[in-house]
Amino acid sequence: MKLKLMAACALAVLACAAPAAAQPKPTAADAKAFVTNAEAQLDKVNAFANRAQWVRANFITEDTQWLEAKANAEQNELVTRLATEAAKFNGVATDPVTARKLKLLKLYLVSPAPNRPGAAEELAGLVTKLDSTYSSGKFPYKGKPITLNDAEAVMAESRDPAELKAVWEGWHGTAKVMKGDYARFAALSNEGAVGLGFKDTGALWRSNYDMDPDAFAAETDRLWTQVEPFYKNLHCYVRARLNEKYGDAVQPKTGPIRADLLGNMWAQTWGKIYDVVQPKTVSSSYNLDKLLQDNGYDPVKIVKTGEGFYSSLGYAPLPQTFWERSLIVRPKDREVVCHASAWDLDDKNDIRIKMCTKVDGEDFRTVHHELGHNYYQRAYQAQPTLFRNGANDGFHEAIGDFAALSASTPTYLNQIGLLQTVPGADEDIPFLLKMALDKIAFLPFGLMVDRWRWEVFAGEVKPEQYNDAWWALRLKYQGLVPPGPRPADAFDPGAKYHVAGNTPYTRYFLAHIYQFQFHRAACAQAGWKGPLHRCSVYGQKAVGEKFEKMMALGQSQPWPQTLAVFSGETRTDASAVAEYFKPLDAWLKVQNKGQQCGW
Ligand code: X8Z
Ligand code: ZN
C-alpha cells in the first residue's frame, strides 16, 4: 500500500508535498536527459495517434472513433504527465534549448486532460465525438438530406434570400446537439489547463506566442485597430451594394449586414458575391472559377499546379506517397472530415493532404494553403521533436497563403497558361476588390472566434449564454446579424469547424497579417519595384532559399527572431496589408461618400 502511494507520488510531483526534502535537487544535466527522454516518448505515442487520427478522419465510424479517442487519451495522459514532471526543474539553470523545450512541453496540448483517472478518456471521447458530429452533419433540404458541401454551394451561388436563409438555418441547426458536449469538454479542458498552472484553456492558448498571455491579447487588439478602419470601409461598400440588389426589406441601408447574404456559410470570406458587388465602371476580364473549369482542371490537376508553384521556388517535389495516400476528392461511400487539413504522419517524408476539393478559385487557394503546411513540416523535419512546429501557429497558417498571394496574380495565371492576356492597371480595382472580399473580410472573423472561446474558457460566458455571446461578438467585430431570430437551443459557434474540432483560431487572424509581411519582404528581395498586389515571386529561387531558412527553424527560437530571418522585422505589423490594398481603400472611400458607415 505504501509503495503504491510512493509510485503515485512520483508520477504526480506537483500533488505531493512530502518527498521533496528527501530528493536531491535536480541538475541541468538531469533536465537535459529528461527532455531527451520525453521527446522519445512523444515520438512513440504520436506515431500511433497520428495513424489513428488519420484513419478516423478518413473513415468515420463507431470503431474508428473509439480507436482515435483511445490513442488521443494516451497521448494526452503522457504529455500531461511529462508537463507536470517538468515542473521539478523550475529554478534549475538549464541550457536555453532545454529551457525552451521544458516550456513547450507545457504548451504542447490544445486541451490537456485533468490529472485523475478516466478524465483523459472522457475528454478524448468528447473531442472525437464533436469533430465527427460536425463532419457528418446533414439536414433536410428540398426533401433530401444535404451535406455541408452542398449547403456551401447554395450559399455561394443562390441569390434568393429565402433560399439562403433556409440553408443557413438548416446548417446552423445541425450544431445544437453539440452544446452539452461542448460545455462538458470546456470544463474538462479548463481543469487540465489549471492543473498545468494556467488560468484556463484560453490563457494556455495565449501563452504560446513567446510573450505574456495578456500582452498577446493586447497585441491582437493593436493589430485589429490597425485594420479595422479598412474593414469598415469594405463593410459599408458591400452593404450598399447588397441593399441595391435585395432592397430595404432584406438588407437595410444602415446597420449590420445579414450574415447569409455574403456568399459563405460563416460570412468569413465574401469573394463568392463578387458578381453582386463588382465595380460599376470597370469590370474584370476573367473569373478564376471559370478559367479552371474551362481549362479542364480537376482536383488532382489543381494540387499538381500548387506543387509546381513550390517547385519553382526550388523545393523538392512531393513524394510519390503523397499522391497515393492523400484524400483529394470527397468519397461518396463513407463519412470523412471534409474540412481541409495537411498531415505529417512520420516526421520524415509521409506528408499528405485531406480535402474535398472543388474546382474553383477558392480551393485553388486552399490547395496552396494546405501544401504550405506540408512544405513547412518538411522544412523543420530535422529539428528535435519539441521544435517541429511553426515559429508560432500563425506562421504555419501563413506559409501557403503567402504562396497563394503570388499564385493569385494575373501574371502568374498567364504564366501557367490559364489566362490569355494579363490585364493592365485599369483592372487593379476589380482585382483588389476580389482579394479584399477574402482577405479583409476575414480579419474580424479571424479575431472573434477565439474572443468567444476566451470568454467561455474564462467562465465569463456560461452555456446558457453561448449563443447570445457569439452573436454579440459577430455584431461587434463583423457587423453582422443572423437572417432571423435564433432558437433558444441554438449553438451557432458549433456550426464552425474549428469550434467543434477544437482548433484555435487566432492563428488565422495572425496569418492574414504575416502573409502580407512575407509577401512584401519576398517582393523586395526579388527586386520588385511595382505595386505590391501585382508582385509574384514565382520562379524566384533565391527567395525560396531564404524562406526555407526561416521555415527550417521551426519553433526552435522565439518567433520574432525567426520572422527577422526572412523579413528583417521583429513585430507582427499590418502596414503590409495597408500597402497592398492602398489603392482599393482610396477607391472605397470615394464609393462610400454620403453613406453612413458603421453599424
Ligand atoms: O481551416 C482552414 C484551413 C485548414 S488549416 C483550410 N482555414 C480557416 C477556415 O477555413 O476557417 C484557412 C483560412 C481560415
Ligand atoms: Zn491551415
Which long-range contacts does 409-416 make (Cβ < 8 Å, 24+ apart)? 409/533, 409/534, 409/535, 409/536, 410/286, 411/534, 411/536, 411/538, 412/309, 412/536, 412/538, 413/286, 413/288, 413/291, 415/536, 415/538, 416/305, 416/308
Residue 37 lies inside a defined structural domain of this protein: yes
DSSP 67-128: HHHHHHHHHHHHHHHHHHHHGGGTT----HHHHHHHHHHHHS-SSPPPSSTTHHHHHHHHHH
Residue 417 lies inside a defined structural domain of this protein: no
Ligand 1 probe mutation, 369, 505, 514, most atoms within 8 A of CB: 369
Residue whose CA lies nearest to ligand 1 atom number 14:
508
For 207, 263, 401, 504, the CA distances from 392, given in Å and listed in that order, are: 11, 31, 15, 12
Relative to the CA of 496, which ligand 1 atom is closest? 11
Report how far ligand 1's centroid is from the alpha carbon of 10 (Å).
41
Q: Which ligand is nearest to the CA of 339?
A: 1
Residue 80 lies inside a defined structural domain of this protein: yes
Of 74, 219, 228, 498, which residue is the catalytic one? Answer: 498
Residue whose CA lies nearest to ligand 1 atom number 5:
341
Report how far ligand 1's centroid is from the alpha carbon of 596 (Å).
33
Residue-level pLDDT, tens digit, the chain, 599 residues: 333 233 333 333 333 444 445 678 899 999 999 999 999 999 999 999 999 999 999 999 999 999 999 999 999 999 999 999 999 999 999 999 999 999 999 999 999 999 999 999 999 999 999 999 999 999 999 999 999 999 999 999 999 999 999 999 999 999 999 999 999 999 999 999 999 999 999 999 999 999 999 999 999 999 999 999 999 999 999 999 999 999 999 999 999 999 999 999 999 999 999 999 999 999 999 999 999 999 999 999 999 999 999 999 999 999 999 999 999 999 999 999 999 999 999 999 999 999 999 999 999 999 999 999 999 999 999 999 999 999 999 999 999 999 999 999 999 999 999 999 999 999 999 999 999 999 999 999 999 999 999 999 999 999 999 999 999 999 999 999 999 999 999 999 999 999 999 999 999 999 999 999 999 999 999 999 999 999 999 999 999 999 999 999 999 999 999 999 999 999 999 999 999 999 999 999 999 999 999 99
Using CA atoms of 517, 394, 448, 340 in order, give the dihedral in degrees to the nearest 10. Answer: 110
Of 77, 307, 370, 397, which residue is the catalytic one? Answer: 370
Q: How many domains does the chain have?
A: 1
Give, to the nearest 10 degrees, the angle between helix 466-473 and helix 428-457. Answer: 150
Report how far ligand 2's centroid is from the alpha carbon of 589 (Å).
32
448 CB within 6 A, ligand 1:
no
The pLDDT of residue 256: 98
364 CB within 6 A, ligand 1:
no
Residue type for position 536: S
- Please give the angle made by the CA atoms of 589, 267 and 573, to the nearest 5 degrees: 60
Cell numbers at residue 190, please? 479548463
Report how far ligand 1's centroid is from the alpha carbon of 374 (Å).
15
Short-list 530, 283, 312, CA closest to 426 = 283
Contact 202, 194 (CB under 8 A): no
Q: Which ligand is nearest to the CA of 355?
A: 1
Relative to the CA of 497, which ligand 1 atom is closest? 11
Residue type for position 38: A
Q: How far apart are CA 470 and CA 259, in angstroms?
A: 13
340 CB within 6 A, ligand 1:
yes
Active-site residue 498, yes or no?
yes
DSSP 317-334: PPPHHHHHH-B-S--SSS
Residue whose CA lies nearest to ligand 1 atom number 1:
340
352 - beta bridge partners? 343
Cell numbers at residue 177, please? 446537439
**3-class SS at 179?**
helix
Residue 67 lies inside a defined structural domain of this protein: yes
Short-list 590, 580, 556, CA closest to 103 = 556
Report how far ligand 1's centroid is from the alpha carbon of 131 (Å).
15
Report how far ligand 1's centroid is from the alpha carbon of 42 (Å).
27
Q: Which residue has the cell 536527459?
A: 33
DSSP-derived secondary structure letter, 408: T
366 CB within 6 A, ligand 1:
yes
Domain that holds residue 103: 28-131
Give, to the nearest 10 degrees, the angle between helix 62-86 and helix 28-58. Answer: 170
Report how far ligand 2's centroid is from the alpha carbon of 198 (Å).
26
DSSP-derived secondary structure letter, 316: P
182 CB within 6 A, ligand 1:
no
Cell numbers at residue 214, please? 495578456
342 - beta bridge partners? 353
Residue 113 lies inside a defined structural domain of this protein: yes
Q: Which residue has the cell 469533430?
A: 131
Q: How far apart are CA 23 and CA 123, in angstroms?
A: 33
Q: How far apart are CA 195 and CA 79, in angstroms?
A: 13
Ligand 1 probe mutation, 266, 339, 355, most atoms within 8 A of CB: 339
The pLDDT of residue 22: 63
Contact 382, 554 (CB under 8 A): no
Active-site residue 370, yes or no?
yes
Handedness of CA 518, 523, 529, 530 (dihedral sign): negative
Q: Which ligand is nearest to the CA of 394?
A: 2
Residue 171 lies inside a defined structural domain of this protein: no
106 - beta bridge partners? none
For 290, 483, 590, the CA distances from 172, given in Å and listed in that order, are: 30, 11, 37
Q: Which ligand is nearest to the CA of 497?
A: 1
Residue 39 lies inside a defined structural domain of this protein: yes
Residue whose CA lies nearest to ligand 1 atom number 7:
508
- HEC string of 430-467 equals HHHHHHHHHHHHHHHHHHHHHHHHHHHHCCCCCHHHHH
Residue whose CA lies nearest to ligand 1 atom number 13:
508
Q: How far apart are CA 65 and CA 599, in angstroms?
A: 44
> Beta-strand (E) ranges in 416-573?
480-481
Report how far ligand 2's centroid is from the alpha carbon of 203 (Å).
22
Residue type for position 542: A
Short-list 561, 559, 522, CA closest to 542 = 522
Ligand 1 probe mutation, 338, 366, 401, most atoms within 8 A of CB: 366
The pLDDT of residue 23: 72
Residue 77 lies inside a defined structural domain of this protein: yes
Short-list 323, 374, 366, 317, CA closest to 346 = 374
| 186 burial via Cβ count (<10 Å: 0-12, 13-18, 19+) | buried
* Other Cβ atoms closer than 10 A to 170: 18
Relative to the CA of 442, which ligand 1 atom is closest? 14
Q: Which residue has the cell 482548433?
A: 503
pTM: 0.96
Q: Which residue has the cell 471559370?
A: 290
Ligand 1 probe mutation, 341, 397, 448, most atoms within 8 A of CB: 397
